[in-house]
């Protein structure tokens, strides 16, 4: 199958079958930032933003920004 002949439906089917959509949802909704300094330990549950330096982060931001335009 050539790349330009691939249908969006087949891609979504593959993403669902391989649980990629679940993985991305989990990656974005289950993030925790932790820091330690001497006797102080902090833990914050992150609710916004994407992983800094993540391979898919730029693509996910582009998809959101495209919807805003």
What is the domain range of residue 7? 3-68
**Whole-model pTM?**
0.51
Contact of 23 with 51, CB cutoff 8 Å = no
pLDDT at 59: 83
H-helix or E-strand containing 20? helix 20-29
pLDDT at 1: 47
Rama region for 28: left / alpha / beta (φ>0; ψ in -120 to 50; rest): alpha
Q: How many H-runs (helices) and E-runs (strands) does the chain carry?
A: 3, 2
Give the number of domains in the chain. 1
CA distance 55 to 32: 19
- pLDDT means per 10 residues, the chain with 69 residues, are 61 79 80 91 88 82 80
């Amino acid at each position: 199958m050539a790349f330009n002949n691939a249908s969006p439906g087949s891609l979504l089917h593959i993403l669902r079958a391989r649980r990629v959509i679940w993985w991305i949802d989990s990656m974005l909704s289950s993030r925790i930032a932790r820091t330690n300094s001497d006797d102080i330990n902090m833990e914050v549950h992150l609710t916004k933003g994407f992983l800094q330096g993540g391979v898919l982060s730029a693509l996910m931001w582009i998809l959101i920004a495209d919807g805003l335009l």
